Amino acid sequence: MGLGVLHRADPPGPLRDRRDGVAALVRTGAGAARRGLLRRRLYGIRFEERPDLPAYHPDARVFEVFDRDGGPLGLFIGDFFTRPSKRGGAWANALVPQSRLFGTAPVVVNNLNVNRAPAGEPTLLTLDEVRTLFHEFGHALHTLFSQVHFPKFAGTRVPRDFVEYPSQVNEVWMLWPEVLANYATHHRTGEPLPQEIVDRLQAAEQFNKGFATTEYLAATLLDLAWHTLTVEEAAAVTDVLAFEAAALERAGVAVPFVPPRYRTAYFAHIFSGAAYSAGYYSYIWSEVLDADTVDWLTEQGGLRRELGDTFRDGLLAKGGSADSMEVYRAFRGRDPLIEPLLKRRGLISVP
């Protein structure tokens, strides 16, 4: 069964990988470079399918990952198709964390929920599914490149406001010209995706960002307002809507036509467990780090092995073994700047 790409823009229509294979997507290290351009040029790693290694389900495919020196690095499992017994969404799991203490190499799985095509047809991906494929593989790389002593700190076992950062950086390669040219072809004619369509896709990234940023920040500030209350203050709140209104007004985000993305009564992220309590801000903070890093990649020439090695050894390999912001400062040479994110979202003018 092929796994290709479908961009739901105007014609030319659906796209697919020329080699008609899931393996061709997986071996890129990011989701679609036909000749392994990204994983080879940026990180120097190689994927080899191991059909002799059984996975937990027939849909899951096992790949051995070889490091830049040719030695074994770990195992990657791709489980891309939806099925009745599988929960929805997309996620990455470290089945075995890397650890020098126990001498274990990482085993990581990427899960998506792509619908299968009819028999004899290639399975095509929407633009959002392609982005998700790149994103989840960013988590896989974080896991595979871990070099820590204790498994508690391996790979993505980092603070909540840091974990999405490396995977968001990996999304930049989706429309990077050299990578795009290796996978974005018409599924019937083999023609490359026209640059006009690429330009429009990139321009659309800034659509409605003022609204989206404001509604998100309003929800973030509401989260912090609730979780900075003392027990006594929380018990004294008898009117939830009045508390919300006062909190948003104090924060300067009481915009009548831009309500918070989530209101208290259904803000499951922050009340269903400890993971995102006072932590909803983490999504945009990860994007601050991501945008700042993508600026660095762009300034330094993009798809270069030296940059991949710097990002891998200076940041991904550290996992949670050191303070995340100290790791970032050592990698970037300074604190992150917010301007790259504002520029990306079209919220500041670009000279």
Are 107 and 95 spatial neighbours (Cβ–Cβ below 8 Å)? yes
Which stretch of DSSP H or E encloses residue 134? helix 127-144
Are 73 and 66 spatial neighbours (Cβ–Cβ below 8 Å)? yes
Q: What share of the chain is helix, strand, coil (3-state, %, to 5)?
A: 45, 15, 45
Give whole-number Cα distances, 158 to 10, 154, 316, in Å: 40, 8, 10
Dihedral of alpha carbons 218, 224, 225, 227, sign: positive
Active-site residue, 121 included:
no
d(CA 238, CA 105): 53
Please state the φ and ψ torsions of residue 158, each to the nearest 5 degrees.
-125, 170
Tokens at residue 185, please? 């072809």
Q: Coil, strand, or helix at residue 94?
A: strand
Q: Which of 136, 164, 215, 287 is catalytic?
A: 136
SS3 letters for 246-289? HHHHHHCCCCCCCCCCCCHHHCHHHHCCCCCCCCCCHHHHHHHH
List active site positions: 136
